[in-house]
Amino acid sequence: MNLDFITPVFIIGILTASIRLATPILLAALGEVFTERAGILNLGLEGTMLMGALAGFLGAYWTQNLWIGALFSIVVGILFAMLMGFMSVTAKVNQVVAGVGITILGGGLSTLLFRLAFGLRTVPPQITIFQNLPIPLLSQIPVLGPIFFNHNILVYLSLVLVPVMGLILYRTRFGLAVRAVGENPDAADSRGINVDRTRYLALAIGGALAGLGGGYLAIGNLGLFWTQMTAGRGFIAIAVVVFSRWDPSRSMLGALLFGFAGALQLTLQTLKAPIPSELLLMLPYIITILVLVVISRRAEFPAAYCVPYIRGQDK
């Protein structure tokens, strides 16, 4: 096979695209780290992201303001997470099935609302997305400049959130409370931490970021909405969280890995590589399974993972 196409421009292109494609997964994973640290597995992430994508699109389309679109994504993401909160924290039902239900609901509702709003059109409605903001000076650095410093604002935001979320999780009272209710809710409760409220808050953070992650697809990447456009990214984000062993900075590594898989797949397709496109499209999903396999054996799940908290109940 002729490998001449592997030029510096080609490599820079793939790495730039990796960061762009990692963004929605990273945002969702950063939030889910909080949710899972608090002891809740939100498998409704996929549906939440889809609703976030729709809300972002509608907000931006109706108001012609991308920031309002982003705000819509966040608000709807939080609402969907509150639904998961009601199911898991208040009604204390099985979190796995509740998450699956929320994913089905989000997929159906986002499609239904989009169709009710726009009907069937030959030309789909479109919006202009967030434009790239090259960072002065930094974007001039050869190689690193275009890879890291020539993206749109949401990409920068997701990267900035990595240390911020780390600080909140490890250095604030709230972060301590989140970790406490996920590891030992009884002890947290006896120390005066409100277990249910902390879990709802952790879910809200997860929902806000998942919503924004979905919104990014519509208003920061594609400028369109379509049915099931998240294509499993919610589930991939959950795999990234396990991969990261519930740590914000390691979840960036995980998200970048998937971004890279996606970018590689796209580039090979445009290059007309002699591999069928369907097989390339499988790549991110195969990698997810492989990553999960390698990591899960050693992973130490939060002790109260998936366990509803009922005060005074023996386990």
Partner 1 sequence: MTAIQLPGKAKQINWKEIGYGVGSAVASILIAVLIGALLLLGSGRNPLEAYQSLLYGAFGTLGRFTETLVKATPFLIMAIAVSVSFRCQVWNIGVEGQFMLGAIFSTWVALTFVSLPPVILVPLTMIAAIIGGALWSGIAGALKAYLNANEVITTSMLNYIAFYLVSFLVSGPMMDPEGYNFPQSKIIPDSLHLPRLIAGTRLNAAFLVALALVVVALFFWRSTVGFRTKVVGASRRVAHYAGLDVKRTFILVSLITGGLAGIAGWGEIFGIHFRLIEEISRGMGSLAMVVALLGELNPIGMIVSSFLFAALVVGGNAMERSAGVPFALVDVIQGIVILLILARSYFFRRKSS
Binding-site ranges for partner 1 (CB under 8 A): 43, 47, 83, 86-87, 90-94, 96-109, 111-113, 115-117, 227, 231-232, 235-236, 238-239, 242, 276, 278-279, 281-282, 285-286, 288-289, 292-293, 296-297, 299
| Of 161 and 291, CB closest to partner 1 | 291
Q: Of 47 and 223, which has the nearer Cβ to partner 1?
A: 47
**In the bound complex, what is the minimum distance in angstroms from residue 239's beta carbon to partner 1?**
5
Q: Please state the closest distance from residue 279 (CB atom) to partner 1, in A.
A: 6
Closest contact distance (angstroms) between CB of 189 and partner 1 is 21
CA 159, 165, 166, 168 torsion-angle sign: positive
212-239 as b/e, with b when 16 or more CB fall inside 10 Å? bbbbbbbbbbbbbbeeebbbebbbbbbb
Q: Which is nearer to partner 1, 154 or 240 (CB)?
A: 240
Nearest to 117 by CA among 266, 209, 225: 225
Can you spell out the DSSP letters for 35-62? HHHTT---TTHHHHHHHHHHHHHHHHHH
Q: Is the Cβ–Cβ distance between 299 and 240 less than 8 Å?
A: no
Name which of 104 and 141 has its Cβ closer to partner 1.
Answer: 104
> 87, 107, 106, 86: which is closest to 96 by C-alpha?
87
Residue 106 or 175: the one with the smaller Cβ distance to partner 1 is: 106
* Distance in Å, CB of 310 to partner 1, minimum: 12
| In the complex, least distance from residue 155 CB atom to partner 1, rounded to whole angstroms | 25
Minimum CB distance to partner 1, residue 110 (Å): 8
Where helices occur in the chain by DSSP H, the ranges are: 8-37, 45-63, 66-85, 95-118, 144-148, 153-171, 173-183, 185-190, 195-216, 233-243, 248-270, 277-296
Residue 40 or 161 with smaller CB distance to partner 1: 40
Pick the closest to residue 154 from 53, 80, 82 (CA basis). 53
